[in-house]
């Protein structure tokens, strides 16, 4: 039996939830989905300039879990930028 997922503390609610490359019709785009926890991890680490231990404490998760979430978010963002995909922040 899988371990239940621990709730993550998220203090950010984005007003804009969709980003797409300019000049490309929406109908012809693939999209990458970012979860709220991934967006919060990117915000804390890159905008707030906190170290991973502080970020993990703010999200009420372990440092290794925070690292996995951040790595997943960075990979998705890089894929969208390099391959010209839209980014959707899931609600």
Sheet bearing 86-89, strands edge to edge: 18-19, 86-89, 31-34
Query: Is the pTM higher than 0.75?
Result: yes
Burial class (CB in 10 A: 0-12, 13-18, 19+), 66: buried
pLDDT in tens, 58-71: 999 999 999 999 99
Please state, as a whole number, how many other Cβ atoms lie within 10 Å of the Cβ of residue 38: 21
One CATH from 1.10.3470, 1.20.140, 1.10.10, 3.10.450 for 34-89: 1.10.10
What's residue 16's pLDDT?
Answer: 85
Domain ranges, ordered by start, for the chain: 34-89
Low-confidence ranges of the chain (pLDDT < 70): 3, 5-8
What's residue 14's pLDDT?
Answer: 79
């Amino acid at each position: 039996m899988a371990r239940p997922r621990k709730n993550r503390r998220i203090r950010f609610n984005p007003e804009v939830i969709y980003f797409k490359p300019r000049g490309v019709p929406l109908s012809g785009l693939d999209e990458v989905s970012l979860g709220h926890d991934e967006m919060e991890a990117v915000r804390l680490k890159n905008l707030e300039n906190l170290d991973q231990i502080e970020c993990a404490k703010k999200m009420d998760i372990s440092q290794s879990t925070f690292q996995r979430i951040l790595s997943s978010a960075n990979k998705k963002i890089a894929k969208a930028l390099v391959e010209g995909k839209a980014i959707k922040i899931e609600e």
